[in-house]
């Protein structure tokens, strides 16, 4: 996996730092998500509840009244 002997990596501090930076760079390339998918222009963001069902306008008005009543 490593193109050099394991014992020679840590003989020099600089070589160990370069090796560690390479490992961190590889981990970032593997673990980070890709770019977000572009949203379609004709779609508007639809509010949904926890079940994934769209939220109705009357439910939003009830929520607004409840918040104002606090």
* Tens digits of residue pLDDT in 18-30: 989 999 999 988 8
Q: State residue 32's pLDDT score.
A: 80
Q: Is residue 10 part of a domain?
A: yes
The boundaries of the domain holding residue 14 are 1-34
- Categorize the per-residue pLDDT at 6 as very low, low, confident or very high, splitting at 50, 70 and 90: low
Q: State residue 3's pLDDT score.
A: 64
Structure tokens at 70: 């606090």
Structure tokens at 26: 């590889």
Q: Is residue 60 part of a domain?
A: no
The total domain count for the chain is 1
Q: Is residue 55 part of a domain?
A: no
pLDDT tens digits, one per residue of 30-70 = 888 777 777 665 556 778 888 888 888 898 899 899 999 88
Cα-based angle 67, 46, 62 (whole degrees, multiple of 5): 25
Ranges of H-type helices in the chain: 6-9, 13-31, 57-68
Whole-number Å distance between alpha carbons of 22 and 36: 26
Whole-number Å distance between alpha carbons of 46 and 51: 13
């Amino acid at each position: 996996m490593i193109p050099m002997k394991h014992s020679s990596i840590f003989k020099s501090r600089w070589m160990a730092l370069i090796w560690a930076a390479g490992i961190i760079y590889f981990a970032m390339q593997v673990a980070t998500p890709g770019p977000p998918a572009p949203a379609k222009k004709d779609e508007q963001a639809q509010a949904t509840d926890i079940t994934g069902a769209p939220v109705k306008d009357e439910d939003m008005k009830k929520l607004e009244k409840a918040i104002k009543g606090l």
